[in-house]
């Protein structure tokens, strides 16, 4: 049974994208604050507590706990719902926060559950649950960096996430393993096994400029990777803004030592 609103969409642009969503009468889309671009006159905007999904439809305490978890992934307690209150189709659009790509995820075809990096969520059909996913393994918790606390999107509707740079999709066969910089992971299906491994060799760790740890993704399942994590972009911009004494070279001993624990993966 379909529990999420069914929405039509179109993604515009190349490097600076926005997604335009067409809503039938009484259809609703939810979005993070700050992503709104424009809407037709027949659409009403309402701030809601949590994500408005059925999982948050219990008592006040349940809603408070569900919304409070979102603070752990850097999100707001509140989301914005955009509902078509007219009698004709109406459109609303949401823009990506930085250069990159918007990825459309049909949860009904992806096992009804996707794990994604925090801050990746852009918008979704009403009924999609936006929660948090803790990586349970000790190594992942201690050294996972950006990948320790992630978002989970659950439901059978459309959800949209944003990532930096170019997006690469990989279908992993059973037992197939992919080693990835933690910051380059955008999302993966729930049947993919996620773990953290330490870089082998002291020279690689200190002089390689790639950090001490990387993520391993094991199939079966689908993964989405980004070529430019926002943390890496921000780190590079900050380093160029330093008047003197900044980190000059990624591969130098100073660059390696200074960034081993940064989690930006260069």
More confident residue, 149 or 36: 36
Give pLDDT, residue 246.
Answer: 47
**CATH architecture assignment, domain 8-259:** 4-Layer Sandwich (3.60)
CA dist 258 to 154, 203, 205, Å? 38, 14, 11
In contact, 35 and 95? CB cutoff 8 Å: yes
User: What is the mean pLDDT of the segment spanning 66-91?
Assistant: 76
Q: Above pLDDT 90, what percent of the chain?
A: 40
Return the beta strands (E) in the chain as ranges.
Answer: 8-12, 18-23, 28-31, 36-39, 43-49, 78-84, 90-95, 100-106, 113-116, 121-125, 129-134, 149-154, 158-164, 167-172, 177-180, 185-189, 193-198, 213-218, 221-226
Taking the domains of the chain in order of start, what are their residue ranges? Answer: 8-259
Q: Of 243, 228, 249, 250, which Cα lies nearest the Cα of 96?
A: 228
**Average per-residue pLDDT in the chain?**
77
Among 29-43, 130-144, 174-188, where is mean pLDDT lowest? 130-144
Give pLDDT, residue 134.
Answer: 67
More confident residue, 144 or 37: 37
pLDDT at 12 over 80: yes
More confident residue, 135 or 30: 30
| Helix ranges (DSSP H) in the chain | 60-69, 138-143, 202-207, 230-241, 253-259
pLDDT at 213 over 80: no
pLDDT at 220 over 70: yes
Give pLDDT, residue 251.
Answer: 41
10 Å Cβ neighbour count for 120?
24
More confident residue, 24 or 215: 24
């Amino acid at each position: 049974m379909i529990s999420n609103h069914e929405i039509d969409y179109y993604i515009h642009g190349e490097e600076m994208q926005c997604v335009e969503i067409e809503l039938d009468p009484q259809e609703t889309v939810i979005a993070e604050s700050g992503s709104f671009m424009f809407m037709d006159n027949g659409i009403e905007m309402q701030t809601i507590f949590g994500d408005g999904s059925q999982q948050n439809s219990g008592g006040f305490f349940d809603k408070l706990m569900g919304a409070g978890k979102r603070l752990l992934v850097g999100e707001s307690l509140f989301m914005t719902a955009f509902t078509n209150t007219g009698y004709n189709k109406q459109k609303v659009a949401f823009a990506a926060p930085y250069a990159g790509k918007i990825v459309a995820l049909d949860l009904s075809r992806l096992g009804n559950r996707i794990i994604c990096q925090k801050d990746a969520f852009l918008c979704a059909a009403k009924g999609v649950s936006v929660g948090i996913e803790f990586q349970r393994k000790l190594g992942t918790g201690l050294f996972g960096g950006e990948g320790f606390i992630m978002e989970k999107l659950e439901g059978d509707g459309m959800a949209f996430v944003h990532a930096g740079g170019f997006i690469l999709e990989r279908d992993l066969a059973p037992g197939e393993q992919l080693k990835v910089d933690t910051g380059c992971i955008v999302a993966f299906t729930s049947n993919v096994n996620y773990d953290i491994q330490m870089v082998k060799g002291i020279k690689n760790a200190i002089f390689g400029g790639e950090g001490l740890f990387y993520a391993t993704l094991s199939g079966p399942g689908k993964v989405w990777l980004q070529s430019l994590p926002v943390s890496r972009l921000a780190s590079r911009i900050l380093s160029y803004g330093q008047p003197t004494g900044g980190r000059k070279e990624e591969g130098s001993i100073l660059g390696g030592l200074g960034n081993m624990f940064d989690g930006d993966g260069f």
